[in-house]
Amino acid sequence: MIRKGRFNKPAAEIAQRYGESVSFDWRLYRHDIAGSIAHAAALARAAIITADEHQQIENGLRAIEKEIESGKFGWDHSLEDVHMNVEAALIDRIGPAGAKLHTARSRNDQIALDLRLYVKAETAEVASRLRDLQRALLHLVEKHVDVVMPGYTHLQRAQPITFSHYLLAQIEAFERDGNRLQDCLTRTNVLPLGSGALAGSTIVLDRERIAHDLGFSGVSQNSVDAVSDRDFVCEFLFCLAMIGLHLSRLSEDLIIWSTSEVGFLEFSDAFSTGSSLMPQKRNPDMAELTRGKTGRLYGNLISILTTMKALPSSYNRDMQEDKEALFDSVDTVRSALELFTSMLPEMKINRERMRAAASDPNLLATDLVEYLAKKGTPFREAHEMVGRIVAHSAANQIPLNQVSLAELKNFSSLFDSDAAKIFDVGSALTKRRAIGAPSSENIARHIALWRSRLVLTDESA
């Protein structure tokens, strides 16, 4: 804690332990050092430090960075945070020049800068891992492009789709996650450094040049707002929580489909676990853990929203609580994306089990409704008629596709011999040609589209 000058007594040891953050914010060191190097350059341009002092500071900071990366740097918890540890080490190395570095800067705008640099870097890393997962999904699409399966609503068989159509749906969801990250980046990519504690400084630095040096696209326009703002952290945590939501939903599908009762797929040995008691068990623990970790992502988002909701404007120490939630969510999502990218290609898909489940004629009851609708029957009337046919089928234990034409005509005179063609699953899927529907033509078009997008992303990276 900073005690010199204003205070006569040192802080209580218990207060130092309670208030320190270096045990977790040390991981911001690269961003803290990058910001300090840019700040030193601005001080030199403003003639606050000499060219020689500037060089000493930059050399000293780069040496400290290498020492941290090598694991030889000794973090001092009594110095409270990453900022004071780096600054104290710099002063110890180069003397008075190091003590000039903090001129026209506060830890308030320093941490706001470090967090923005960190979120920018992690946005790029998470986006890259999302792309890797999309590629893994696309490989599965191409490998199982023609596999028919039931689609479900309410966990009940609904209508036939293809497994590739299901997988393409997951790619779409993760694409929205990537778009959200990029949108969040536009509000993160604003330089707060130069805002001071809350009111700037009488020493005027070229903030636009600092922004350029650090790769920011803009400069904050109000110093009070700049040190108060953690919107970008909240928004980033929401983006990560949404990724968790989509991973959790995918996990739930795979878990259900891997059960003996369903048997659509099997996780590989490498991504399954056994039981401590039952030797026959193959448990989908990796998917279950991902489903569980999503709760942590939600909790981290709620924690920062709750912390920020009642703070007065400007900086308050409560905001120290943003970092552990942020770091935990980043670590959780990064590892989950990496895991799924490795796990999905090793799954064994039971094509025949899926195809058999999709052969349930009840899945085409809606097609029977549409058959009547195309012949002029109002949809609601057709829906009721087919509902009665399904009830008749169930009551008499006759599969829907084996109800005779004569029996069908008892429900509607519009039924003709071509009604039997309704129950050809391949034909039914072919007819689903509207944008977004699972016809083979649509799927082929979307495979080509995603191939192009993902390859273009590789080339532009």
Residue 60, domain CATH: 1.10.275.10
Q: How confident is the model over 224-232, as a mean pLDDT?
A: 97
Domain membership of residue 226 (yes or no) is yes
pLDDT at 260: 96
pTM for the whole structure: 0.94
459: pLDDT strictly greater than 50: no
Residues 277 and 382 in one domain: no
Domain membership of residue 138 (yes or no) is yes
Residue 367, domain CATH: 1.10.40.30
- pLDDT tens digits, one per residue of 196-222: 999 999 999 999 999 999 999 999 999
Q: How confident is the model over 309-324, as a mean pLDDT?
A: 95
- pLDDT tens digits, one per residue of 77-92: 999 999 999 999 999 9
Residues 162 and 241 in one domain: yes
pLDDT band at residue 11, thresholds of 50, 70 and 90?
confident
Domain end: 103, 134, 158, which one?
A: 103
Domain membership of residue 215 (yes or no) is yes
Domain membership of residue 141 (yes or no) is yes
Domain membership of residue 8 (yes or no) is no
Residues 147 and 35 in one domain: no
| CA–CA gap between residue 385 and residue 379 (Å, rounded) | 10
- Please answer whether residues 297 and 244 qualify as being in contact, where contact means their C-beta atoms are separated by less than 8 angstroms: yes
- pLDDT tens digits, one per residue of 410-419: 999 999 999 9
Residues 273 and 185 in one domain: yes
Domain membership of residue 3 (yes or no) is no
Q: Say which residues have a Cβ less than 8 Å from residue 217's Cβ, sequence separation at least 6.
A: 186, 189, 190, 211
Residues 392 and 280 in one domain: no
Q: How confident is the model over 215-238, as a mean pLDDT?
A: 98
- Please answer whether residues 220 and 192 qualify as being in contact, where contact means their C-beta atoms are separated by less than 8 angstroms: yes
pLDDT band at residue 7, thresholds of 50, 70 and 90?
confident
460: pLDDT strictly greater than 70: no
Residues 254 and 341 in one domain: yes
Residue 160, domain CATH: 1.20.200.10
- Domain residue limits at 438: 360-460
Side-chain half-sphere exposure of 114, counting CA atoms within 13 A: 25
* Inter-axis angle of helices 231-257 and 163-188, nearest 10: 170
Domain end: 38, 68, 103, which one?
A: 103
Alpha helices (H) in 191-284, listed in sequence order? 207-214, 223-228, 231-257
Residues 373 and 285 in one domain: no
pLDDT at 319: 95
Other Cβ atoms within 10 Å of 21 Cβ, number: 19
| CA–CA gap between residue 434 and residue 453 (Å, rounded) | 22
Residues 93 and 23 in one domain: yes
Residues 232 and 138 in one domain: yes
Residues 119 and 236 in one domain: yes
Domain end: 44, 73, 103, which one?
A: 103
Domain membership of residue 445 (yes or no) is yes
- Please answer whether residues 61 and 31 qualify as being in contact, where contact means their C-beta atoms are separated by less than 8 angstroms: no
- pLDDT tens digits, one per residue of 126-149: 999 999 999 999 999 999 999 999
Residues 210 and 302 in one domain: yes
Residues 333 and 383 in one domain: no
> Annotated catalytic sites, by residue?
154, 275
Q: How many domains does the chain have?
A: 3
pLDDT at 2: 58
Domain membership of residue 2 (yes or no) is no
Number of helices (H) and strands (E), helices first, in the chain?
A: 19, 6
